């Protein structure tokens, strides 16, 4: 059981969160009340982070997948010393504040991803764990662990009910992402009722079947048990871990264990009752006892020491492996290496021409060797989307007899250093995992599928646009010339649909040289996702000595050829 200081700190999180929701008269008090102990333990004893530098590359990543519990995250950020003041906390859910209703990447220091649409964060976390595994495999050397961090996610019933979480968890289990740990706030309550009316499968057995390691903590207030579970998860390097922590939504409040505690302020009278019940002073609101704050703020010294130690490791690495170090540093800065585009082909004029998917595949393969950050794959469609990076390895756990003989290799061996991601037929998770790869940093992710199946990816497409993530989507089999598959495979409204998403750049090149220009735009882009919409059928390659240059595409539209007498 927690000692007095632990208890004081946990209750500080609880009541900061409750007071935030109460003052805003809006928000979700139930989850922070129940999940505060696991959050406290993780953030003060296990999470490697530096509150003074939220973008430190080798920090552990923490994703609050249950974004409605944002008050919990803001409490942790404030208390451990991020640039988020008590005044910011008091402005919860107000227009223009740093503490919006759901966590927003790029808006609040320390928020890794925008969450709120349930299930997405968990899949983002899978992407982050893939990013870490790839970077570690490519750059780490014996005695030089340049990349060595974990990904933690706090997930709820709603997260685990969403299909995207199942897709992502299935892939994570297959990939044996041992540095991924999900803490599941297993409280048997959702927004509109108890889980007994909708969600009764054995979750531990389900995740075990995906290939996860599962641990159950019977009492979500038992810090010792939570700590042991997290340590067991960390020690398990071969499988991702799901820690099922039994908690009580709205812990200590008159609404405890009811769905009423999920998403409504407790009300002044019940806030008071809850404080009295848990032995907390009823006044003032937003109380942060000095002793608790001092304890939380020890994260600052720990974080600075951890980051300094990493900086020393980076210097030693740079001496031992100067070329690799430069390459890593370039990736970490999200820069394009000099000469990255030297190999982009110029396609000669040709009346028959080629499909823009074909041109795209040639362009990708022409730049990939010089651009190690370019990593991605398709939802089981590379032969059609032409997105395989040939000879650059297949991302999978280190070879086993099964994978050594496996079909579908793009060449270059099966390992975590492989740059071809095989997403399987999982478009929704593919999009969300790509967001996680981009949010992690060091990776320019691409994904690919038939244009029609972008419909299966709309939630992560929209979130990437909101988060300003650099993700490249390759959508092929555009137009009526998609082939013989019929109306189910026919994109009709998809182009207008994607173009309606603010901050998603949609490019539909008209020939091979425009495809090259489109890939330049896509790779040089910062702070936005791009969709390249490509054909299955051949398109004539225009004669650019007679028509305007293809890089007019950069302007969004350009005059290819003036009408005679300038009268179209």
Ligand X SMILES: Cc1ncc(C[n+]2csc(CCOP(=O)(O)OP(=O)(O)O)c2C)c(N)n1
Half-sphere exposure of 458 (CA within 13 A, CB side): 10
Nearer to ligand X, 219 or 329 (CB): 219
Query: Nearest to residue 431, comparing CAs of 169, 123, 119, 174?
Result: 123
Which of residues 31 and 129 has its CB atom nearest to ligand X in the complex? 31
DSSP 177-217: -TTEEEEEEE-SB-SSSBGGGT--S-HHHHHHHHT-EEEEE
Nearer to ligand X by C-beta: 457 or 516? 457
Shortest Cβ distance from residue 548 to ligand X (Å)?
45
> What is the C-alpha separation between 451 and 357, in angstroms, rounded?
11
CB 542 within 8 A of CB 510: yes
Select 91 or 156, whichever has its Cβ closest to ligand X.
156
CA distance 360 to 513: 10
Residues 428 and 74 sit within 8 Å (Cβ to Cβ):
no
Q: What per-residue string of b and e applies to 372-385 under the rule 16 or more CB within 10 Å gives b?
A: bbbbbbbbbbbebb
The DSSP bridge partners found for residue 64 are 154
Question: Shortest approach of ligand X to residue 77 CB, angstroms?
Answer: 19
The values of phi and psi at residue 434, to 5°, are -60, -40
The catalytic residues are 427
Q: Which is nearer to ligand X, 157 or 255 (CB)?
A: 157
Cβ-based nearer residue to ligand X, 259 or 547: 259
Nearest approach, Cβ of residue 12 and ligand X (Å): 20
Helix (H, G, I), strand (E, B) or coil at 121: helix
Is the four-CA dihedral 436, 440, 441, 442 of positive or negative sign? negative
**Smallest separation, CB 25 to ligand X (Å):** 18
Collect contacts of 193-198 with beta carbons under 8 A, ≥24 apart.
193/259, 194/259, 195/157, 198/161
Q: Minimal distance in Å, beta carbon 185 to ligand X?
A: 6
- In the complex, least distance from residue 124 CB atom to ligand X, rounded to whole angstroms: 14
| Residue least distant from ligand X (Cβ) | 158
Sites of contact with ligand X (CB under 6 A): 28, 30-31, 66, 68, 116-118, 156-158, 162, 185, 187, 189-191, 249, 262
Nearer to ligand X, 30 or 303 (CB): 30
Closest by alpha carbon to 126, among 78, 159, 93, 79? 159
Q: What's the distance, Cα to Cα, between the start and end of the chain in Å?
A: 80
Residue with tokens 């651009």: 371
Minimum CB separation from ligand X for residue 217, in Å?
16
Q: Which is nearer to ligand X, 189 or 443 (CB)?
A: 189
CB of 157: closest distance to ligand X in angstroms? 3
CB-count exposure of residue 284 (10 Å: 0-12, 13-18, 19+): exposed
Q: Pick between residue 165 and residue 523 the one whose CB is nearest to ligand X.
A: 165
Is the distance from CB of 423 to CB of 174 less than 8 angstroms? no
Query: 205-235: string of b/e by CB count within 10 Å (b at 16+)?
Result: eebeebbbbbbebeebbbbebbbebbeebee
Contacts of 70 (CB under 8 A, 6+ apart): 27, 28, 64, 99, 100, 101, 102, 103
CB of 191 to ligand X, least distance (A): 4
- 35 touches 83 (CB < 8 A): no
Closest among 525, 531, 469, 459 to 495, alpha carbons compared: 531
């Amino acid at each position: 059981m927690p000692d007095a200081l632990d208890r004081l700190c946990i209750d500080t999180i609880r009541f900061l969160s409750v007071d935030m929701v109460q003052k805003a008269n809006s928000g979700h008090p139930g989850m922070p009340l129940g999940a505060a102990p696991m959050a406290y333990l993780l953030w003060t004893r296990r999470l490697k982070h530096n509150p003074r530098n939220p973008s430190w590359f080798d920090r552990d990543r923490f994703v609050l997948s249950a974004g409605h519990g944002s008050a919990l995250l803001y409490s942790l950020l404030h208390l451990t010393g991020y640039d988020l003041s008590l005044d910011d906390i008091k402005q919860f859910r107000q227009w223009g504040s740093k503490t919006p209703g759901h966590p927003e990447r790029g808006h609040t220091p320390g928020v890794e991803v925008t969450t709120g649409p349930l299930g997405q964060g968990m899949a983002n976390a899978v992407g982050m764990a893939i990013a870490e595994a790839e970077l570690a495999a490519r750059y780490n050397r014996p005695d030089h662990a340049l990349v060595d961090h974990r990904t933690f996610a706090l997930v709820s019933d709603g997260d685990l009910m969403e299909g995207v979480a199942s897709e992502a968890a299935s892939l994570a289990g297959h990939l044996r992402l041992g540095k991924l740990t999900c803490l599941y706030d297993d409280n048997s309550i959702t927004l509109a009722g108890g889980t007994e009316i909708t969600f009764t499968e054995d979750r531990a057995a389900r995740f075990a079947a995906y290939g996860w390691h599962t641990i159950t903590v019977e009492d979500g207030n038992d810090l010792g048990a939570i700590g042991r579970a997290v340590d067991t998860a960390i020690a398990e390097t071969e499988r991702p871990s799901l820690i099922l922590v039994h908690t009580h939504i709205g812990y200590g409040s008159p609404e405890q264990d009811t769905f009423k505690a999920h998403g409504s302020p407790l009300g002044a009278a019940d806030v008071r009752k809850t404080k009295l019940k848990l032995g907390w002073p009823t006044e003032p609101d937003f109380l942060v006892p000095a002793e608790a704050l001092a304890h939380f703020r020890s994260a600052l010294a720990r974080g600075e020491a951890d980051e300094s130690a990493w900086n020393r490791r980076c210097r030693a690495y740079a001496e031992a492996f100067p070329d690799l170090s430069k390459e890593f540093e370039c990736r970490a800065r999200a820069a394009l290496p000099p000469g990255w585009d030297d190999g982009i082909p110029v396609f000669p004029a040709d009346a028959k021409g080629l499909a823009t998917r074909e041109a795209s595949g040639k362009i990708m393969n022409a730049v990939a060797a010089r651009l190690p950050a370019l990593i991605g794959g398709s939802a089981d469609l590379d032969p059609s989307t032409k997105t395989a990076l040939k000879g650059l390895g297949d991302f999978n756990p280190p070879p086993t007899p099964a994978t050594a003989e496996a079909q579908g290799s793009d060449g270059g061996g099966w390992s975590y250093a492989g740059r071809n991601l095989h997403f399987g037929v999982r478009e929704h998770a593919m999009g969300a995992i790509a967001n996680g790869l981009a949010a992690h940093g060091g990776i320019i992710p691409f994904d690919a599928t038939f244009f029609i199946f972008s419909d299966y990816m709309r939630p992560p497409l929209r979130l990437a646009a909101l988060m300003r993530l650099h993700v490249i989507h390759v959508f092929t089999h555009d137009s009526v010339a998609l082939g013989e598959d019929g109306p189910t495979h026919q994109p009709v409204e998809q182009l207008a649909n994607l173009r309606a998403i603010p901050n998603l750049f949609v490019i539909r090149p008209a020939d091979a040289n425009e495809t090259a220009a489109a890939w330049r735009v896509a790779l040089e882009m910062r702070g936005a996702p791009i969709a390249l919409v490509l054909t299955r059928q051949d398109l004539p390659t225009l004669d650019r000595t007679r028509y305007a240059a293809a890089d007019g595409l950069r302007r969004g539209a350009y005059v290819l050829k003036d009408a005679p007498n300038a009268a179209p």
